[in-house]
Structure 1
Amino acid sequence: MGKKHDDEKKSRREYKKTLRQLQVELVKLQNHIIKHDERILVIIEGRDAGGKDGTIKRIIQHLSPRETRTVALGKPSDRDISCWYFQRYTAHLPAAQELVFFNRSWYNRCGVERVMGFCTDEQYHEFLETVPGFEQMLVRSGIKLLKYYLDISREEQQKRLKQRQEDPLKQWKISPIDKAANKYWDEYSLARNIMFARTHHLNAPWTVVRADDKRSARINVIKDLLFRLDYKGKDEALVLPDSDIVFNYAESYLENGMIAP
């Protein structure tokens, strides 16, 4: 018990040290974004309880709130439903000097909306056909777009959803959608696989993150983000991500177990 406890303390110390070093790099990145009027959009998708909130929290923790925004849209209103699907998202796109995170995004359409029957087949197929062109327009306009998918195993999801129910500070995270997540595991897997196949393209590739280990996932998302973006004074050795944890989507990863079945 003593050694296990000591190992955990050492692991936590190393995590905190590395996280702080990476957060210093993030401040450097933000200074570069502000100086050069860049527009950065980061989409964070994943399974329910995949760790999206915690990952974004660590990234933005020491960044300027004036130039950093997190967008987590709720259930669409009747007006939203009557509009062009992408319309309610375009209002939140980054302006010059801004770093914006979408905690879930337009990909709701081929995730929860598809699985839970909140959209029609026609709406779903139209989305899959039009989203690559929409993202290409964003990139051509000068927005730098990064898309991350936090992937966890079925067992880890069950464990985390149970912890949410037992933690009084996480009650706000529990929803009927969460409760159905494990029940519809296979349907969500199929929807995810189709999403990858149809929306992984050169202008906006999907980056998959193996997120069963929360700390490792957070560290490697930050490393990958820093690795992909240019800024002055980058610590190249520090920001090199672990390719076993974070990697560009490829169909072969569905077959070899790198992506949870």
Structure 2
Amino acid sequence: MSHLKPAAEGLRTRIFQIIFESDTPAAKAFDIALIGLILCSVLVVMLESVVSLQERHGDIFHTLEWGFTILFTAELAVRLYCLDRPWQYLRSFYGVIDLLAILPTWLALIVPGTQSLVVVRLLRTLRIFRVLRLMEFVGEGRLLIDALKRSSHQIFLFLFTVCMLITIFASLVYLIEPAEAGFTSIPTSIYWAAVTLTTVGYGDIAPVTPLGQAISVMMMLIGYSIIAVPTGVFSAEVIRSIRADRYSEEACPGCGHDRHDQKAYYCLRCGTWLDEETPDPRAEHDSSAQD
């Protein structure tokens, strides 16, 4: 949120530094306390959904929920108060999440049943990345996304093949098995085939004929054999991305080796200066020493 600016010098600036920054102990304490309140509020909503607990402690849950809502409403108001352009924050990702975190409880006064939507507050814990200075993980996330994009065609082909296998086996089992076994339609058989091929095995539908059971065994073995295909494809792309991010593709002008670290200045094999656009400082130092 580096684009956000405090509204004015003085109190608003100090509030801005505490709420939107994490460089000071006060700012870190504020964010950690806020995350703790968010987790507690979500826990209250989860416990309230348990019928036995709601019957015994419904009034306590209701009071706590309104207490959290009032606190988060005040916190959002303070955020907007210390900003130069509050609407800019409300249109941002965190601004929308902050607004959605308090709306369900207020809307519950008008539309019953919307109070359970306060679990969206859990998204606010994304601020933990800013608090703990883990934003470098965002770069790692981009690396995974890039690898997923490059392997998307292979993964799509794999999923298409799996869908074809599921449809074929489901149609066969539908023709073989009696309706009493649960195979009443091809869509139901497709559900059974997907569960069997992925080796989940719920057991609510199972073949009763020897041929159907043989097909089940074949599907489970196929599932075990092909489950490593998308994992291998994606892992290969991740490794390729890591190497591309870490190593340079430029060849050494001395020996032609092209697997150098991005920050390397000299060739690991022959010791040649790698940057051909700038002179070698070591060579200049040696020539000046000889003179």
- TM-score scaled by length of structure 1: 0.26
- Structure number with the bigger relative contact order (C-alpha 8 A, sep ≥ 6) is 1
- The answer to which structure has the higher strand fraction is 1
Which of 1 and 2 has greater Rg? Answer: 2
- TM-score scaled by length of structure 2: 0.24
